Amino acid sequence: MATNIQAAVQPSATRPRRGATAPQRVDFLSGNEAAAAAARDIGFHLMGYFPITPSTEVAENLAKMQANGDHEIVMVPGDGEHGAAGICYGAAIGGGRVLNATSSQGLLYALEQLPVQAGTRMPMVLNIATRAVSGPLDIRCDHSDVYFALNTGWIILLARDPQAVYDLNFAAVKIGEHADVRLPVLVAYDGFFTSHQKRRLECFDDAETVRREFLGKPDAPYTALDPRHPVTFGPYMNDPDLINNKQQLSLAMEAARQVIPQVLEELHALTGRLYPVMDAYRMDDADVAVVLLNSAAETAKEVADHLRDSGQKVGVLSPNVLRPFPAAAFRDALTSVRAVVIGDRADSYGADGGNLSLEVRAALQQDEHNRTLVLSRVYGLGGRDFDDTDAAQFFEQATQSAKSQQVAVPFAYHGTYAGDPDQKPPSGLPAIETAEVSRGMARVRENPDTGRLEVELEPLWATTTMPGRIAPGHGACPGCGVFPVLHQVYSVLEGDLVVLFQTGCAMVVTTGYPNTAHRITYIHNLFQNGAATLAGLVEMYHELLRRGELPDSPDITFMMVTGDGGMDIGIGPALGAAHRNHNMIILEYDNQGYMNTGAQLSYATPLGHRTSTSEVGRKRAGKVFHHKDTAQIFASCHLPYVFTASEGYPEDLMRKAAKAQWYAKHEGLVYGKVLSFCPLNWRTTDDAAQSVLQTAVDSCFFPVYEVEKGQTMISYDPDLLGRRRKVSDWLALMGKTKHLMSPDNAENLAAVEAEVDRRWRRLKAMHQHPEL
């Protein structure tokens, strides 16, 4: 099919505006802002989402607009991307327009839902700000995430710049909902390069008209919200039926091949901007070409211009559509090209080329006359820049091949570094000897009468010369509370310790490669699965000990460190570990939000608090549901020991940490939640920890207590000590909650106070009754 291969000689910022029919205005937006602006203008019914860099800003921008009443999209913060994908799927079955945005691990965590949604033919739009997948964790751009979506049955549109992000979101809705298609659509743009770079672009002035005349009303053939027409969605379907269902899907993709150019042509008429299925830049008489996706292709165009000026016949091919794969367009465009470099920003390990490369090779193979020499290159992984010198090298390699009529290196990584044997990162500190950290800073004794543990602490100064298990030099914000929490806990834990940190601030700021602040063995796994990972390690440890296969039989304590957000997305595996009662500690530092990704709401964020996904504006004031009571969730797992503590009460926390170690060694899983100061996102001065933490406890927002062998004991009762404060005293101390002091938000404040008080009374009742 040779349609739509047009020379898009016009650069993106000045795409032709031949007869645009819709009035537009100039704006200056990043890719993420463009996706949010498009969502506002499309007027989706619902967005289900979970924050992940670099796509988080889509939800953040929409939250800001929502707070000011600029759109009416229902925003549902998922408990993780899998949950968010489920929310979106459910909403799509309801027949309205649905949006999501994610990246990297988020897409992979949601991946299981993608074929479900395509196979049951529920359109929606998913924006991907592309990012490298773990591990090790890397937040920057490559295409390893979106390549995983190639086999899911979703249509994939590629947006090379913020303007394209805006425009293609409109196209995505219309394509996906087309009666012949009925498939979900993914719009992929480059993380950071496009998601975070602001460019000049044009938005519709009159979104209402575009909605009505271009998009029309969504018209789902089946919905779950029409009781007069009952439908079964998702039957149990084995052979011989499933293969037919899949052929239907395949036919829908084929239909999309026809529908996509039509929709893009309509969009062209509306906006004056053309997105051919294949963007063929200066390809008309090209001898050599490079094939690249998204922002890298734009860089290569710049270089192509220079080479053309010097008389070299070069061009750039970059599809705007990746699924359905434009094989015919590639074949046509490459017919008389002598050599082409195909650059993949992700590898299909062991396949001698990334997916794009393999698919273009397959496309060319269908043309028996094709003689194009193909060079496959993997470039730009993990955000490695691809600049004009890189593009120039690709052109040069293609030119050399064209000249020599052969391909010297069919497949290679581009832009890597072999290393210099004489160069090493700064050396580490010596390992901490067991004896150095076995100094009895806390002596734990079981009281035979009460059955409870009693702790005697050494004087504080005695701990000051213990070697720290975390070295200085980490990159946390000034005043960060996570490190006092860790220090207080570490200073009483005896002997050898192995820690697993879930994704979050503590992990990111301590392990920026090639440096690590951890002086003891440390593991990271993503925060949806840390507890399971540590449980596996704990069981391996015991089994190796039992078989006598562990040299010197070290006595190791295992602890997982997680943020409060990790106890949203990762609570499933954490509860699994709790119910299996492994010998380990789960330590949650609760800073009341997803701080690492820029302070989005977590379920631990209290009602009314301002976060970057629960903004305060003319129409809304902060988070709309109450804070999660994670300690009570774990208490109901009937664990040997559950506690809460505050960074502001070190001695209390240290006693509890010592008990935690004893229980983790002798009885099983311990869960502890520690309130941890975050000056950056609580919006306080860096040295406000003491007063803010103190008031959080004194106002009973954050009671410190323990549940030891099922019995609840409040460690510090502000009522008894005459120190009870009002919740508003606490909220008045933080910039993120200042708005709750205004009379406009009296209702919210009263609701928080009532909930805090109810939970406190309940806790006191448990404290008083051993059976509760």
Ligand X SMILES: Cc1ncc(C[n+]2csc(CCOP(=O)(O)OP(=O)(O)O)c2C)c(N)n1
Binding site for Mg ion (CB under 5 A): 563-565, 591, 595
> Quick check: 163 binds ligand X (CB under 6 A)?
no
Please give the residues from 20 up to 49 whose contact with another protein meets the rule CB under 8 A.
26-28, 30
**DSSP, res 225:** T
> Quick check: 517 binds ligand X (CB under 6 A)?
no
Contact 318, 356 (CB under 8 A): no
Please give the residues from 713 up to 742 whose contact with another protein meets the rule CB under 8 A.
715-716, 721
Q: Measured from the CB of residue 625, what is the shortest distance to Mg ion in angstroms?
A: 17
> Quick check: 593 binds another protein (CB under 8 A)?
no
> Quick check: 77 binds ligand X (CB under 6 A)?
no
> Quick check: 227 binds another protein (CB under 8 A)?
no
Could you give phi then psi for residue 78, rounded to 5 degrees?
-70, 165
Q: Measured from the CB of residue 600, what is the shortest distance to ligand X in angstroms?
A: 7
Q: CA 398 to CA 401: how far, in whole Å? A: 5
Q: Measured from the CB of residue 479, what is the shortest distance to ligand SF4 in angstroms?
A: 6
Q: Hey, what are 511's tokens?
A: 């392990």
Q: Hey, what are 232's tokens?
A: 């079964």
Which among another protein, ligand X, ligand SF4, none contacts residue 594 (Cβ within 5 to 8 A by kind)? ligand X
Pairing between strand 442-446 and 453-457? antiparallel
Options 295-303, 577-585, 631-639, 763-771: segment touching another protein (CB under 8 A):
295-303
Contact 82, 102 (CB under 8 A): no
Helix (H) or strand (E) holding 244, with range, is: helix 242-271
Please give the residues from 107 up to 146 whose contact with ligand X meets the rule CB under 6 A.
109
> Quick check: 591 binds ligand SF4 (CB under 6 A)?
yes
Options 170-178, 246-254, 313-321, 679-687: segment touching ligand SF4 (CB under 6 A):
679-687
Cβ closer to ligand SF4: 608 or 679?
679
> Quick check: 556 binds another protein (CB under 8 A)?
no
Beta strands in 88-164 (DSSP E): 98-102, 125-130, 155-159
> What does the chain come to in residues?
772
Nearest partner of 319 among 156, 493, 545, judged by Cα? 156
Edge to edge, what strands does the sheet with 670-675 contain? 522-525, 496-502, 556-563, 585-590, 670-675, 641-646, 705-708, 711-714
Pairing between strand 278-281 and 314-319? antiparallel
Q: List beta partners, residue 27.
A: 201
> Quick check: 283 binds ligand SF4 (CB under 6 A)?
no
Please give the residues from 642 up to 661 whose contact with another protein meets the rule CB under 8 A.
647-652
Cβ closer to ligand SF4: 376 or 681?
681
Sign of CA dihedral 475, 477, 482, 484: positive
> Quick check: 621 binds ligand SF4 (CB under 6 A)?
no
Q: Spell out the alpha helix ranges (H) of 366-478.
A: 388-404, 460-463
- Tell me the C-alpha to C-alpha distance, in Å, between residue 551 and each of 368, 546, 771: 63, 12, 45
Helix (H) or strand (E) holding 56, with range, is: helix 56-67
> Quick check: 679 binds ligand SF4 (CB under 6 A)?
yes
> Residue from 481, 570, 593, 672 that binds another protein (CB under 8 A)?
481
Q: Measured from the CB of residue 480, what is the shortest distance to ligand SF4 in angstroms?
A: 3
> Residue from 679, 703, 748, 749 that binds another protein (CB under 8 A)?
679
Cβ closer to ligand X: 109 or 634?
109
Cβ closer to ligand SF4: 463 or 525?
463
Using DSSP, state whether 534 is helix, strand or coil. Answer: helix
Cβ closer to ligand X: 204 or 603?
603
Cβ closer to Mg ion: 275 or 603?
603
Which among Mg ion, another protein, ligand SF4, none contacts residue 713 (Cβ within 5 to 8 A by kind)? none
Q: List beta partners, residue 456.
A: 443
> Quick check: 423 binds another protein (CB under 8 A)?
yes
Neighbours of 312 (CB within 10 A): 15
Nearest partner of 319 among 287, 282, 281, 352, judged by Cα? 281
Please give the residues from 500 up to 519 whose contact with ligand SF4 meets the rule CB under 6 A.
505, 509
> Quick check: 476 binds another protein (CB under 8 A)?
yes
Options 121-129, 344-352, 472-480, 527-535: segment touching ligand SF4 (CB under 6 A):
472-480
Cβ closer to another protein: 535 or 689?
689
Options 114-122, 520-528, 577-585, 654-662: segment touching ligand X (CB under 6 A):
520-528
Cβ closer to ligand X: 99 or 595?
595
Using DSSP, state whether 555 is helix, strand or coil. Answer: coil
> Quick check: 681 binds ligand SF4 (CB under 6 A)?
yes
Which among ligand X, another protein, ligand SF4, none contacts residue 344 (Cβ within 5 to 8 A by kind)? none
Edge to edge, what strands does the sheet with 339-344 contain? 5-7, 278-281, 314-319, 288-291, 339-344, 373-378, 411-413
Nearest partner of 391 among 491, 306, 266, judged by Cα? 306
Q: CA 753 to CA 600: how far, in whole Å? A: 22
> Residue from 181, 520, 561, 631 that binds another protein (CB under 8 A)?
520
Q: Measured from the CB of residue 565, what is the shortest distance to Mg ion in angstroms?
A: 5
> Residue from 680, 693, 734, 756 that binds ligand SF4 (CB under 6 A)?
680
Using DSSP, state whether 339 is helix, strand or coil. Answer: strand
Q: Which amino acid is at 331?
A: R
CA dihedral 566, 619, 103, 181 (to 10 degrees): 130
> Quick check: 426 binds another protein (CB under 8 A)?
yes
Options 105-113, 341-349, 630-638, 648-656: segment touching ligand X (CB under 6 A):
105-113
* Nearest-10 crossing angle of helices 31-42, 162-177: 40
Q: List beta partners, residue 317.
A: 280, 291
Q: Measured from the CB of residue 329, what is the shortest distance to Mg ion in angstroms?
A: 47
Which among ligand SF4, ligand X, Mg ion, none contacts residue 480 (Cβ within 5 to 8 A by kind)? ligand SF4
Which among ligand SF4, Mg ion, another protein, none contacts residue 367 (Cβ within 5 to 8 A by kind)? none
Nearest partner of 358 among 291, 426, 442, judged by Cα? 291
Could you give phi then psi for residue 47, rounded to 5 degrees?
-125, 125
Backbone region of residue 553 per phi and psi (left: phi > 0; alpha: psi in -120 to 50; beta: other values): left
Q: Measured from the CB of residue 24, what is the shortest distance to ligand SF4 in angstroms?
A: 39
> Residue from 532, 556, 595, 658 that binds ligand X (CB under 6 A)?
595
Q: Which long-range contacts (CB under 8 A, 24 or more apart) does 452-459 make?
A: 452/708, 452/709, 452/711, 453/659, 453/662, 453/663, 453/708, 455/655, 455/658, 455/659, 457/492, 457/651, 457/654, 457/655, 457/658
Which among Mg ion, ligand SF4, ligand X, none contacts residue 680 (Cβ within 5 to 8 A by kind)? ligand SF4
Options 232-240, 461-469, 563-571, 685-693: segment touching ligand X (CB under 6 A):
563-571
Cβ closer to Mg ion: 444 or 595?
595
> Residue from 48, 54, 83, 106 that binds ligand X (CB under 6 A)?
106
Which among Mg ion, another protein, ligand SF4, none contacts residue 678 (Cβ within 5 to 8 A by kind)? ligand SF4
**DSSP, res 516:** -
Tell me, by CB under 8 A, how many residues bind another protein.
104
Which residue lies nearest Mg ion, judged by its C-beta?
A: 563
Neighbours of 167 (CB within 10 A): 29
> Residue from 85, 259, 381, 482 that binds ligand SF4 (CB under 6 A)?
482
Q: CA 256 to CA 707: how far, in whole Å? A: 58
Q: Which residues bind ligand X (CB under 6 A)?
A: 50-52, 81, 105-106, 109, 503-506, 526-528, 562-566, 591, 593-597, 602
Residues near ligand SF4 (CB under 6 A) are 476-477, 480, 482, 505, 509, 591, 595, 678-681
